[in-house]
Amino acid sequence: MKLICVDDEPLAVEYTLKQCAQFSEISEAKGFTEAQAVLDWVSVHPTDIALLDINMPEIDGLTLAARIKQEQPQAAILFLTAYKEYAFDAYAVHPAGYLLKPVSLEDLAKEIRYIAVTVQPRTEVHIRIKTFGYFDVYVDGRPVSFKLAKAKEILAFLVDKCGAGLTRAELFAGVWGDLLYDRKMQKLLDVYIRSLRETLQEYGIPEILRMERGSLRVNPDTFTCDAYLFYAGDSNMINAYRGEYMSAYSWASVTEGILFWKSAKRSND
């Protein structure tokens, strides 16, 4: 993987690059002390991991992370900082990790290995669905942007059901909970489903959603999903799971508990 390290302190950059040189997962590492130089670099060079200090002059690490993501959506962001109070704000850009300085070689190695098993498939799989942490869909490494958040949640719920068919009423109950499924809500659900289908068509991946005999389901044969690989016993995905599953959706807590239990059981076996 290709990595960049950014810190306004040259000695900090040098120290971190020496640490990264010990990791077999890293094929190339480059250091920067100025944010603009970073943006110039990522605009033309593929980047898998960005190690960023947060408290920097001119452009702070949080802003820089967001701008890196604009150029390289697949890049994993790992914050290295001496200030733990930034942790909450840092998660607005969905980082892969957050480490407090001074960073030990062991802790950095764990983060790099975790990123390695979650980043590499992006360049190898046409359609990848990520459920660990926040739910996202990638096509050839680029994230799918949904016009309506609820349309995205509907797809997430169908992915959670692993290909099982759901009626519209069942889908509504799962996503909206105890709300009454009346005529008004039926029409609203149809709007979200139509928006979802249009987005999938726009990105050239309509095949992941099936509508048949009054039910909806995803077609697991058309995409790769971290949770599905976890269920199948894939060691990389088992190691990648960190206790978070589709974090934006309350209904996902049931599956999150199952994954946590399976993870703990495998650790004890």
Which tokens is 15 given? 């120290």
| Architecture per CATH, 2-123 | 3-Layer(aba) Sandwich (3.40)
State the DSSP string of 144-195.
PPPSSHHHHHHHHHHHHTTT--EEHHHHHHHHHTTS---HHHHHHHHHHHHH
CB 196 within 8 A of CB 150: no
DSSP 3-state assignment of 205? Answer: coil
Q: Over the chain, what is the mean pLDDT?
A: 87
Taking the C-alpha atoms of residue 189 and residue 169, their distance in angstroms, rounded to an integer, is 9
What is the bridge-based pairing of β-strands 49-52 and 76-81?
A: parallel
Whole-model pTM: value is 0.61
- Say yes or no: do domains 2-123 and 125-269 share a fold: no
Q: Per the omega criterion (within 30 degrees of 0), is the bond before 220 cis? A: no
Q: 125-269 has which CATH code?
A: 1.10.10.10
| 96-149 pLDDT tens trace | 677 877 888 888 888 888 787 765 544 457 899 999 988 999 998 788 999 999
Domain ranges of the chain: 2-123, 125-269
